[in-house]
Chain A
Amino acid sequence: MNVIELGITVYASLTRHLVRSLLATLGIVLGIAAVVAMLAIGEGGRREALRQIESQGVDNIILRSVKPAEGNTPQSSRSFTQRYGITQRDLDHIQTVFENVRLLVPVMDVRREIYEGQQSTDIEAVATTPDFLEVTRCQLVDRRSRFLKSTDGDILDPVCVAGVKAARRLFGPLDPIGKTVVIGNVSFRVIGLMESPGKGRLGGQFDLNNIVCMPLNTAASLWGGITLRMGRGMAEKVDYDFLYLAAKDISAIPGTSGRLRSYLKSVHTQVDYDVQVPYELLQSARKTQRIFMIVMTSIAAISLLVGGIGIMNIMLANIFERTREIGVRRALGARKRDILLQFLTESVLLTSIGGGLGVGVGIATAAVAETVSRLGGEVGLKAAVTSESLIVALAVSVITGITFGTHPAWKAAQLDPLTALRHE
């Protein structure tokens, strides 16, 4: 029997009991749907995690100042200023000793309000150096834009670069270049617009698109080191809130981060810093992904085992019911392999239909899960259906059909023609 005839014969057999055929595929539909939906959600989550990690720069090491817990701070009772975090000394040491560091970019949260009219905003003002743009993977948006230069430290003409979101908030549809932003009580002229295409966050905290950058020298000149009044006579002082270290080579990251941690441990009497290594996070995310894949594969295997047993059961019932048909076909010239192929094709077609429906249900489930998770207005799940996952899902359904259809088909092929013909 040629392939077309085989297809027509199988189609006629399956449509004979359409509802039963569809019910038989239910296990496969649910199994494949679960796999596709979970893979889509897992892949979406993985991509988002990778995007966030990569937006921080895989070749970066980011040091962040962390306020120690109350009571752990060794403070002088005379001075009511609590000092913590990354110091100028740390910066100088790293600059001198860490030969694998290509760029060293300090960032200071100037802790001054930015107003839109009379209203304060959530826009963060930071002071940094010209290499900030490179280490944070930000890009200038407007052709007239430029980033900070080392010569920009003039307090008589203070300048700043605004993130696109911050600029939209402050100036709406107006052209922000050349406009003025009031930070603290000082007016800054906007000289550039920048954007983080990966929607990255500064040290994992501030939205890079929602900040305003000013030269470090300007901030130091204006506010002489950043001190924040906490009330009740208490104040806190941090030299740098973030310190970006860009490694010369990605392979130098593990060694450099290790050395950095040792250095900070030896110098800082308290844990008032945090070391973020996106490269390590990336490795960890990949490891998590591997574990996720193993779990997914196990779930898929169990689902498909159950679905496959369902298919085998239906096929065995089918063959029993159609024993006489098998006898007639054999009497009319069908070879054992024709019968085997017919029933195997039926089984594979059933599981493939189940797989196809499962893919559809899976995509829909992932989309529904994504929509439902965003109902609260927060950032929810992200589903990403990849073509690979669809191919794998369909291939697995075909393999399930072959695996669980072979025994019934073989049994059908082995039937004695005469016994089959006499079957009532």
Chain B
Amino acid sequence: MPVQRRDPLIELCGLSKTYEAGGAQIYALRPTDLTVMRGAFLTVMGPSGSGKSTLLNLFGLLMRPTSGVYRLEGRSVSGLNDDATSAVRCRTIGMVFQSFNLLSHLTILENVCVPMQYARLHRSQMRKRAKELLDRFGLEGRYGSRPSQLSGGQCQRVAIARALANDPPMILADEPTGNLDEKTGLEVLEIFQELHRAGKTIIMVTHNPAYRKYATQTLFIHDGSATEK
């Protein structure tokens, strides 16, 4: 097992997100303090509409917080401009979505190459890395397949390979097993556990309490309030 550096990867200080609705301010996420250490496996749980996805989108820099500070690898990232935010998303964060979000007109090899294109890697380097990742997740020989030719589990494995393309320290997964049957869901969970063992920080939103056992840290969110357990 690789040696894990136990420094904080994520630090939230009073991070909140509010929406305006009918003149009233509604908290999607109440001011939250949280530290996620490098190499942690954090599951975010809670009922629908509680603010789980809001938190994940804040982690993924897909939305800006209303207040508070978000430090990633020791650097405040909540006030970065668009280019800098994109650079962080490209190199530091890998995202896995419930509905896979693979680009249907591209082959799975090309899908895995997308984040590396934005990291301006050389073409041969990209393809080599993409093939390695696909091989690692049991998709060798399927490089030329389109997402529509794969099963749900295979698609999610491609999505995970894509999230790992630029070797980011952190993987954000939004209900990655939500569209999969139980058996396939468990296979995907195994992959995340394996990534965690390899030193990746995993943050996973899930409804399934059974997955808590994989986590080193769990955050419950209810009505926008986050509680660590």
Identify the B interface with A (CB < 8 A). 57, 60, 62-63, 82-83, 86-87, 89-91, 95, 97, 101, 103, 105-106, 110, 114-115, 117-120, 123, 162, 166
B105 and A333 contacting across the interface, CB-CB below 8 Å: no
Q: Does A290 sit within 8 A of B, measured CB to CB?
A: no
Partner of A334, one of B60, B86, B105, B162: B86
> Are A333 and B123 in contact, with the CB atoms below 8 A?
no
User: Is A189 an interface residue when CB atoms closer than 8 A count as contact?
Assistant: no
Q: What is the CB-to-nearest-CB distance from B164 to chain A, in angstroms, rounded to a whole number? A: 12
A/B interface sample: 28 pairs, CB < 8 A? A1-B118, A2-B117, A4-B123, A5-B123, A9-B117, A12-B105, A12-B110, A13-B105, A16-B105, A325-B103, A328-B101, A331-B60, A331-B95, A331-B101, A332-B115, A333-B91, A333-B118, A333-B166, A334-B118, A335-B83, A335-B87, A336-B83, A338-B118, A418-B57, A418-B62, A418-B63, A421-B97, A421-B101
Cβ proximity bits A411-423 to B, threshold 8 Å, 1 near / 0 not? 0000001100100
B62 lies within 8 A of A331 (CB): yes
Alpha-carbon gap, A328 to B96, bound state (A): 10
A421-B99 Cα distance, complex, nearest whole Å: 11
Q: List the B residue with the shortest CB-CB distance to A15.
A: B105
Residues of A close to B101: CB separation below 8 A: 324, 327-328, 331, 421
For residue A336, give the distance in angstroms from its CB to the closest CB of chain B: 6
Contacts A4-B123, A417-B62 given: A333-B115 contact, CB under 8 Å?
Answer: yes
Chain B hits for A335, CB < 8 A: 82-83, 86-87, 118
Say yes or no: B105 contacts A332, CB within 8 Å.
Answer: no
7 closest A-B pairs by beta carbon, nearest first, are A333-B90, A333-B118, A16-B105, A335-B86, A418-B62, A332-B115, A5-B117
Is there a chain B Cβ closer than 8 Å to A330's Cβ?
Answer: yes
Is the C-beta of A407 less than 8 angstroms from some C-beta in chain B?
no
Per the 8 Å Cβ criterion, residues 1-44 of A in contact with B are 1-2, 4-5, 9, 12-13, 16
Known contacts A1-B117, A12-B110, A16-B105, A332 near B95 by CB under 8 Å: yes
* Distance between Cα atoms of A331 and B172 in the complex (Å): 11
- Asked whether B90 lies within 8 Å of A332 as measured between CB atoms, the reply is yes
- Known interface pairs A12-B106, A16-B105, A418-B62. Does A332 touch B120 (Cβ–Cβ under 8 Å)? no
Interface residues of A in 316-347 (CB under 8 A from B): 324-325, 327-338
Which residues of the partner chain B approach A331 to less than 8 Å between Cβ atoms?
Answer: 60, 62, 89, 95, 101
Residues of A within 8 A of B87 (CB): 333, 335
For A4, give the chain B residue with the smallest CB separation.
B123
Known: A1-B117, A1-B118. A336 touches B82 (CB 8 A): yes
Nearest chain-A residue to B162 (Cβ)? Answer: A332
Given contacts A4-B123, A16-B105, contact A332 B57 (CB under 8 A): no
Bound Cα distance A12, B146 (Å): 12
Say whether, besides A324-B101, A417-B62, A418-B62, A332 and B118 are in contact (CB < 8 Å): yes
Asked if A332 and B63 sit within 8 Å, CB to CB, the answer is no
Provide the residues of chain B in CB contact with A1, threshold 8 Å: 117-118, 120
Would you call B86 and A333 a contact (CB within 8 A)?
Answer: yes
The chain A residue sitting closest to B123, CB to CB, is A4
Chain A 295-330 interface residues, beta-carbon cutoff 8 Å to B = 324-325, 327-330
Contacts A335-B83, A336-B82; A2 near B62 (Cβ below 8 A): no
- Which residues in chain A, 237-265, are within 8 Å of chain B measured between CB atoms? none
A329 to B123, CA, bound (A): 18
Cross-chain contact of A328 among B60, B82, B103 (Cβ < 8 A): B103
Residues of B within 8 A of A417 (CB): 62
- Give the distance in Å from the alpha carbon of A330 to the alpha carbon of B60 in the complex: 11
6 new A-B contacts, CB < 8 A, other than A336-B82, A336-B83, A418-B63, are: A1-B117, A5-B123, A13-B105, A16-B105, A331-B60, A333-B118
Of B86, B87, B115, most A-chain CB atoms within 10 Å: B86
Set of chain B residues within 8 Å of A329, measured between Cβ atoms: 114, 118
Q: Bound state CA distance, A12 and B103, in angstroms?
A: 11
Of all chain A residues, which has the CB nearest B92? A333
**Assembly CA distance A12 to B63 (angstroms):** 30
* A333 to B95 Cα, complex, angstroms: 10
Closest A residue to B174 using CB positions: A421
Closest CB-CB distance, B29 to chain A, in whole Å? 14
CB distance from A190 to the nearest CB of B (A): 75
How far is the CB of B121 from the nearest CB of chain A, in Å?
9
Q: What A residues does B106 contact at CB under 8 A?
A: 12
**Residue on B with the closest CB to A420?**
B62
- The answer for the CA separation of A327 and B174 in the assembled complex, in Å, is 15
Quick one: closest A residue to B83, CB to CB? A335
